[in-house]
Every structure is written in C-alpha cells, then in structure tokens.
Structure 1
Amino acid sequence: MPTPTPLLRCLVVDDDPLSVQVVANCITNTPFLTPAGSFDSAPAAAEALRTQPVDLLFLDVEMPLMSGLDLLSTLQNPPLVILITSSKHYAVEAFEHDVVDYLVKPISYARFLKAAQKALELADAAALASMPSPTATGTDPDFTFVKVDTKLVKVLFDTVCYVEALGDYVHIVMPHSKLIVYSTMKAVEEKFPASIFVRAHRSFIVNLRRVQAIEDNTITIENKQIPIGQTYLREVLQRLNKF
C-alpha cells in the first residue's frame, strides 16, 4: 500500500506583511505543505528555530537587523530553504547556501508550487537514504522499495539488470520495464546489496547475475553495452571472478 505523502511544516520569515500573506495562502493551497507560523524578523526566527525545528523555511533575503542570508549562516542544522526576494542579484550567493530554490517577487502560485515540489522530492530522498541498508540489518533481503512519483514500488533485486544515472534521476532497468526514481547513485549503492551489484561506471551499477559477456572494457546485459570506467575496472573483474 503506498505510503502517504508527508506534510512539510513550513515557516515564513519576511518583514513584508503582504508577502507573508501571499506565501501563507500558497502553503494553505498546497496539499503536502502545512503552516508552522511566520516571523517578521530574522533574529526572532533564529530563536524559534532553536526550539521548534521545521521542514521548510520560506525566507526573505532583505530584512532589517539581519538578512535572510545572515540568518542561514547562523543555523547549525538548517531546514530546507526557499529564498524569496524582490531582487535577482542574490541568486549566486543564495545557491552557495544550498537552498532549494529562489523565488522573485511577485510570486505566482505556479512558480511557488514548482519550488515546493522540489523541496518535497529532496525531503523524500533524504528519508529514503536514512532507511537501513540491506547490509545494515545483517541480512540479505530479496527486495527493496523505491519511490516513484508519489508511491513506493517494490523492486526484486534479481529482476534488475542495471541502474543508470541520468541527471538528478536514476533508471532502474529490468528486462521488460524500468523505473525512474529521483535519487543519487550513492543512495542506490547503499540500498542494493553488494553481494549482487557492483558499480561499473560513474553512471552505471550492474547486476552481476545478469552479466552475459565482458569484452574490451564493456559489459553486455540484455543486449545493452555498458562501459566500464577505468577506476572501476579492477573491482568489476575481481567481483566477476569471485562470483
């Protein structure tokens, strides 16, 4: 049964009451977001965040006493952050703080929703990465669950031919189908058992049981030619010889 989409608790920090109201309305109209209050100054928000952590912070950049960027630099464990400002020239500095997105006033709901969905995907990816890996449990299970859109899908390890990285997503490829998952290759390596899978390239993880041939630094699986990166070649050959 699919796991319900979690609600992200959202705090708004902005000294402009109208802007606070606009963002608050957007939060209320977004099913996976829930309001957790607002502050009109960065110092007040900093104090609140020490005792009442939230999942997502909508933060204005330009505020008196302390800017939004200054606030971020004081937080030891900041939540996901979407910056809001009337000026575009803060964009480069904003992303140096690893913010989720950067919204320029006036904010449209369509643009707000796009940023919020990005935050949800990051929160989901972090939650999945924190789940115990197969080796951490001391067992070697036959399956795992991955999140595809809004549902968790069961993946039987033996059915997976290979995993390919494409941008911010990975394709989990099976003989007659594939799953597109918002994830990193590192997260896949942690969830897929090393007894079966090996990293063959920075963009590929292969199922050793599915390897049909290896020639000229290329692995063949289901007629797919998969390159072996030079940094992975020794490990792949060792694993195949021991398999």
Structure 2
Amino acid sequence: MTLPTLTCMAVDDEPLALGLICAFIEQTPFLKLVGRYSSAIEALRGLHEQPVDLIFLDIQMPDLNGLELARILDRSGAKDTPRVVFTTAFNQYAIEGYKVDALDYLLKPFGYDEFLRAANKARSYAERQQPPVSIPIPVSAPEPEEEYLFLKVEYQLVRVAFKNILYVEGLKDYVKVYVLGSTKPILSLTSLKALEEKLPSRRFMRIHRSYIVSLEQIKAVTRNSVQIGEITIPVSDQYKEPFTQFLSRWTS
C-alpha cells in the first residue's frame, strides 16, 4: 500500500523561523507544503479553504496563540482534524501541548534531524489510519487478527486488544482502562466520550456517566448493575433504556 503525501501547513509569526520550517517541509519527500501563515487567525481561515493533514504550529503569537488554535481544532470533533506539531522556544508549554493531543513538540532551535523525527511520527500515525485492504479469505485461512485500539499513554501509543478490556472508568480529562491479567489500569489522557466512539458498540456499552463495560466480560447482571470479576458497576438512569434492551436479549 502506497502512503499518500501528507499535506502540511506552517504557522509562525517569526519570518526566519517560518522560512526554516517551510524549507524543512519542502525537502521531506512525503510532505507537501500547501500553506504558510504568520498568524494563527490567518491559518484558521486557510484551513476552511484548504484542509491539511499536519500543522507545524508556533505557540507564542499575537491575537490567537498556537495553543488556542489547537484547542479550537480539537473541539471541532471533525474526523479530518489535522494533527499538530508544536514549534516553540519555551518548554513550559509541553504539558499544555499534550492536553490538546499534539503529535509532537519541537523546541527551538531545532535541526532537520529533529524535524524529520516528528515528520516520521506523523507518517506512522497516517499509516495506522489507512483503511485495511479487503482481501478475500479462503475457507481454510486462519481467522483474522484480533481487533484493537491505540491508547495514548504519556508520549507513546499503546495497543490494547478489545478482547482484553474489562471496563473503562472516566475521570474528567483521563480514563482508566482495566484489562485482563493486570491489577493496575492503563491511564490515558482522553475523554470517556472520545474513547466510547472508538469502541465497537456490539462489544461495549456505556452504562453510567463514568463507566463503559465490555459485554463479553459481564459475569452477572441486575436491573441496576453489572458485575465484572469482583467489581459491581451501577447503571445510571441516563443509560437505563439501552441497558434494559440489552438485558432482555441477555436473558432470553
């Protein structure tokens, strides 16, 4: 499978820094520069006219800074929201960059080797988003590989198989994912709603404002709770109707 070229935008209010980033993009074979802007406001207008895959974004800029632009893009909820690589001279923004799901964080001054490392990270991410190629499977062929998702844990993506997930607990900006064979949950910086959209509805159900459970791992049920292992999880009124429908199928 041939990976398409990643379209890029560079945003920086310093002309020299903007020129350097654009030059780095243009000398990278799998990147294509389609926009360069000296302010985040101009970049936001440009994104409406020309969506891109990747933005190299300065943070400290007048009027609208890079973090504010990233938050606007993150809240849009669009499937084609571009990934962001922050470029800044100030390392105190690293945690804030992580909170808006930045792909990487380049501390100025940086060279082409550091830039290329971030670009390769973007390429790897794009590869994972490519739809699988449909290939007819003969009757004698083995079953397809298990399904999984990637969870952002610190500054890496961790693969977790759906079949190993017991339940998920939401804690404001974080989730705790409890898995088979481990007493310690996986802590990931994402919302419960965002994770719910990634989990297949045929295998997982949200039964509470703070909980999603694996239907395969339910050990026992009542009209107001489910038991997974030794843990009893309540069913809130907001999710009673879909749970009741599931319960009727489960007991039939």
Given the two structures, how large is their TM-score scaled by the length of structure 2? 0.54
Partner of 1:3: none
How many residues matched? 201
Give the alignment of 1:218-233 within 5 angstroms.
Answer: 218-233=225-240
Query: 1-side partners of 2:223 and 2:159: how far apart?
Result: 36
Q: Is the 8 A contact 1:125 1:183 kept in 2?
A: no
SS in 1 for 2:244: helix
Q: Which of 231, 238, 241 pairs up with 2:245?
A: 238
Identity across the alignment (%): 25
Query: 1-side partners of 2:209 and 2:131: how far apart?
Result: 23
Partner of 1:16: 14
- Check if 1:35 corresponds to 2:24: yes
Q: Given the superposition, is the C-alpha separation of residues 86 and 15 from structure 1 closer, same or farther in structure 2, using an over 3 Å criterion? A: closer
Query: 1-side partners of 2:89 and 2:174: how far apart?
Result: 28
Q: Which amino acid aligns with 2:69?
A: A
Deviation at 1:61, TM superposition (A): 1.1
Deviation at 1:206, TM superposition (A): 1.3
Higher relative contact order (CA 8 A, sep 6+): 1
- Check if 1:67 corresponds to 2:46: no
Q: Is the 8 A contact 2:166 2:217 kept in 1?
A: yes
Q: Given the superposition, is the C-alpha separation of residues 131 and 145 from structure 1 closer, same or farther in structure 2, using an over 3 Å criterion? A: farther
Q: Is the 8 A contact 2:167 2:213 kept in 1?
A: yes
Deviation at 1:188, TM superposition (A): 4.9
Deviation at 1:119, TM superposition (A): 2.5
Q: Given the superposition, is the C-alpha separation of residues 13 and 199 from structure 1 closer, same or farther in structure 2, using an over 3 Å criterion? A: closer
Q: Which of 150, 153, 161 pairs up with 1:155?
A: 161
Partner of 2:213: 206
SS in 2 for 1:119: coil
Q: Which of 64, 68, 75 pairs up with 1:90?
A: 64
Q: Which of 169, 172, 189 pairs up with 2:177?
A: 172
SS in 1 for 2:89: coil
Q: Which amino acid aligns with 1:16?
A: E
Q: Which of 90, 95, 103 pairs up with 1:108?
A: 90
Partner of 1:120: 103
Q: Is the 8 A contact 1:13 1:20 kept in 2?
A: yes
Deviation at 1:239, TM superposition (A): 1.2
Query: 2-side partners of 1:182 and 1:240: how far apart?
Result: 32
Q: What is the root-mean-square deviation in Å for CA atoms of aligned residues? A: 4.9
Deviation at 1:234, TM superposition (A): 1.9
Q: Which amino acid aligns with 2:149?
A: V
Q: Which amino acid aligns with 2:17?
A: S
Query: 2-side partners of 1:190 and 1:70: how far apart?
Result: 28
Structure 1 residues without counterparts, runs of 5 or longer: 1-6, 28-33, 39-50
- Check if 1:146 corresponds to 2:135: no
Q: Is the 8 A contact 1:219 1:225 kept in 2?
A: yes
SS in 2 for 1:118: coil
Q: Is the 8 A contact 1:165 1:171 kept in 2?
A: yes
Q: Which amino acid aligns with 1:12?
A: A
Q: Which amino acid aligns with 1:221?
A: I
Deviation at 1:98, TM superposition (A): 1.5
Query: 2-side partners of 1:196 and 1:145: how far apart?
Result: 12
Query: 2-side partners of 1:118 and 1:112: how far apart?
Result: 11
Q: Given the superposition, is the C-alpha separation of residues 109 and 145 from structure 1 closer, same or farther in structure 2, using an over 3 Å criterion? A: same
Q: Given the superposition, is the C-alpha separation of residues 8 and 111 from structure 1 closer, same or farther in structure 2, using an over 3 Å criterion? A: farther
Deviation at 1:197, TM superposition (A): 2.6
Query: 2-side partners of 1:36 and 1:242: how far apart?
Result: 55
